[in-house]
Amino acid sequence: NAGVTQTPKFQVLKTGQSMTLQCAQDMNHEYMSWYRQDPGMGLRLIHYSVGAGITDQGEVPNGYNVSRSTTEDFPLRLLSAAPSQTSVYFCASSSTFRQGDRAYDEQYFGPGTRLTVT
Amino acid sequence: RKEVEQDPGPFNVPEGATVAFNCTYSNSASQSFFWYRQDCRKEPKLLMSVYSSGNEDGRFTAQLNRASQYISLLIRDSKLSDSATYLCVVKRAARQLTFGSGTQLTVLP
């Protein structure tokens, strides 16, 4: 299994440009999400999806769109890039299973996309 | 006030030392708790879940106090390879995770 893959690894955009960050997972996980990580801020949830055809907003959704047409793919679109969107973007997927009286829910993260908007 | 707060550090400790990290969370409806580890310029990876009864995984011990809304991580016999940022993570519902900003640990030879 490749796990969670993200492309590109690095990207530089000019203000106003649009682009799509790609995310794919091969673990058949129903839950996928996008985070951004900024210095001193921790990871913040942008959008998430609980299954194909279902998406919802997280904590910081403005300026981003997502879609989930398949279980495997969850692309993040920047509509009109702004310098405030300079960040590291992580995609994650997860599934929950129970063992005895405990529930296990581990999120697997992709390697990240480092985006700079000038 | 941030929903999950951690001391950012940095913590610089010698090899073999015991180090403890603390974390507080503000939402009493939080359901699950985790510690993630993040190496420099890498993605976060799950270190361990935190259960109400406390749990241990080798040199790592995690504790949860729901009444005080407090989570801790204890690392015994620190190794150089433990150097990383440790993220306190809280889950409310619908698998939405809220991350603390992380505590940076450097283990010195």
**Which residues in chain B are contacts of A111 at CB distance < 8 A?**
42-43
pLDDT score at A69: 96
CA dihedral B78, B80, B84, B86 (to 10 degrees): -10
> Do residues B92 and B31 lie in contact, with contact meaning Cβ atoms separated by under 8 Å?
yes
- Which of A43, A59, A60 has the highest number of chain B CBs within 10 A, making it the mutation to test binding with B? A43
Give the span between the Cα atoms of B24 and B71, in whole angstroms: 6
Residue A56 Rama label (left phi>0; alpha psi -120 to 50; beta): beta
Q: What is the mean pLDDT of residues B35-43?
A: 94
Burial (Cβ within 10 Å: 0-12, 13-18, ≥19) of residue A114: middle
Q: How far is B98 from chain A (nearest CA, A)?
A: 7
pLDDT score at A106: 80
- The two tokens of residue B86 are 């440790």
Give the span between the Cα atoms of A75 and A82, in whole angstroms: 19
- Which of B6, B23, B27, B43 has the highest number of chain A CBs within 10 A, making it the mutation to test binding with A? B43
Percent of chain B whose pLDDT exceeds 90: 77
Give the span between the Cα atoms of A47 and B42, in whole angstroms: 21
Burial (Cβ within 10 Å: 0-12, 13-18, ≥19) of residue A44: middle
pLDDT score at B29: 84
pLDDT score at B15: 98
CB contact under 8 Å between A107 and B100, yes or no, is no
In this predicted structure, which of A1-10, B14-23, B78-87 has the lowest mean pLDDT? A1-10
Give the span between the Cα atoms of B94 and A27, in whole angstroms: 19
pLDDT along chain A (118 residues), means of 10: 92 97 95 93 92 94 96 96 97 82 80 97
User: In the block, which residue shows the tokens 């801790």?
Assistant: B72
pLDDT score at A100: 74
Residues forming beta bridges with residue A32, ordered by sequence position: A49, A93
Residue count of chain A: 118
- The two tokens of residue B71 are 């989570």
Residue count of chain B: 109
